[in-house]
């Protein structure tokens, strides 16, 4: 959505629903809509687009179908890591956790693209200023994710986060602005809220919530704590140019930071907290990179660049600014059309 908006061209959003067997069809790399739940999906009809931007491997077959049956001149852009060979796309925009090799049609960005701008944060902060006026500044925003691949965000970790954030606010005489997300379990959200001992506004994520204060919290906060499972929230927090602190949702041998000081980064410990996380860790260690992702690469890069620091550590000085990832992506898409 950020890329489509930044291009400045007319666009439509297609919401797609998939049948249970879609993943099996994906293995065949077909140009088909057979895996699509038509009744629950946006219609795919003429006039056909000149550009398709897809995110999520389920969109691959749909883009191929549009090119074959709609517009043979279609340009296809995939965000993330595709199941098919990246050569099948005009452009792949990826980030380090997917470990794609360098190629002429692959753009490697440091962090995911997003729509956070200084103006947007200022507007949202102004809308919420009165609602936050009862809380003592400075504000520390706490952006909360959840389980992700080889990592679990369990209630004990949530309580640890609540206590650590409260200590920061206590030292400064300030307060917390907490926002959970779609992946935050009810149990972890409850444990986090119970562990907070300072004035706070605690927002629990709800689907289709038009009053979500996420961007207002980014705009109002003096610093931002982000759980390490969410690379997207990390990117949005870093865009504010405020101090960003990463919280490790695991500990011990399962920790995100395990082996962090070693170079090169060691393989992730093979055993997780349950069967699902163990399976994911085994894929990371022994399967081809396309089967998994490694968030540690992005975290290490953000810390090395001075964009973030781990909670409890002093951040490194920020390096000189570079061209924004979104701007680079826009330029590469425009090149596909000779612009």
pLDDT at position 323: 55
Q: How many CA atoms lie within 13 A of 181 on its CB side?
A: 17
Mean per-residue pLDDT for 97-106?
96
Q: pLDDT averaged over the chain?
A: 94
Largest distance between two CA atoms of the chain: 63
Residue 18: DSSP 8-state: B
Tokens found for residue 289: 């990179």
Write down the H helix ranges in the chain.
2-7, 22-26, 59-69, 118-128, 155-172, 186-195, 214-220, 231-238, 275-286, 295-304, 325-335
pLDDT at position 210: 76
pLDDT at position 112: 94
Mean per-residue pLDDT for 3-29?
93
- Among 124-138, 225-239, 265-279, 308-322, the least confident range: 308-322
Residue owning tokens 């605690």:
202
Give yes or no for residue 318 having a pLDDT over 70: no
Rounded percentage of the chain residues whose pLDDT exceeds 70: 97
C-alpha distances in Å from residue 317, one per residue of 172, 179, 321: 22, 27, 12
How is 180-249 classified by DSSP, letter by letter? --TT--HHHHHHHHHH--S-EEEE---TT-TT--HHHHHHH-SEEEEETT-HHHHHHHHTTTS-EEEE-S
Mean per-residue pLDDT for 158-168?
98
pLDDT in tens, 233-276: 999 999 999 999 999 999 999 999 988 778 888 999 999 999 99
pLDDT at position 211: 82
Mean per-residue pLDDT for 78-84?
94
């Amino acid at each position: 959505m950020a890329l489509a908006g930044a291009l400045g061209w007319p666009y439509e959003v297609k919401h797609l629903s998939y049948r249970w067997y879609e993943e099996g069809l994906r293995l065949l790399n077909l140009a088909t809509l057979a895996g699509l739940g038509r009744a629950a999906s946006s219609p795919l009809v003429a006039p056909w687009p000149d550009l398709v931007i897809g995110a999520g491997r389920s969109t691959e077959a749909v883009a191929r179908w549009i090119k074959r049956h709609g517009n043979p001149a279609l340009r296809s852009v995939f965000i993330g890591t595709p199941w098919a060979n990246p050569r099948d796309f005009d452009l792949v925009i990826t980030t380090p956790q997917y470990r794609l090799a360098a190629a002429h049609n692959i753009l490697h960005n440091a962090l995911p693209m997003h729509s956070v701008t200084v103006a947007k944060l200022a507007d949202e902060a102004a809308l919420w200023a009165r609602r936050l006026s009862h809380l003592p500044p400075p504000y520390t925003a706490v952006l909360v994710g959840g389980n992700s691949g080889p990592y679990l965000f369990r209630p004990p970790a949530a309580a640890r986060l609540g206590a650590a954030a409260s200590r920061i606010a206590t030292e400064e005489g300030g307060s917390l602005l907490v926002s959970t997300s779609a992946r935050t379990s009810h149990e972890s959200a409850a444990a986090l809220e119970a562990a907070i001992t300072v004035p706070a506004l605690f927002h629990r994520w709800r689907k289709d919530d038009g009053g979500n204060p996420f961007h207002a919290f980014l705009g109002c906060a003096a610093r931002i704590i982000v759980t390490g499972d969410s690379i997207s929230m990390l990117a949005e927090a870093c865009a504010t140019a405020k101090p960003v602190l990463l919280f490790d949702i695991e500990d011990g041998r399962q920790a995100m930071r395990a082996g962090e000081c070693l170079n090169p980064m060691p393989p992730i410990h093979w055993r997780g907290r349950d069967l699902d996380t163990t399976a994911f860790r085994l894929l990371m260690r022994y399967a081809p990179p396309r089967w998994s992702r490694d968030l540690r690469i992005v975290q290490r890069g953000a810390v090395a660049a001075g964009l973030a620091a781990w909670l409890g550590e002093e951040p490194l000085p920020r390096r000189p600014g570079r061209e924004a990832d979104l701007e680079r992506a826009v330029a590469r898409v425009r090149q596909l059309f000779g612009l």
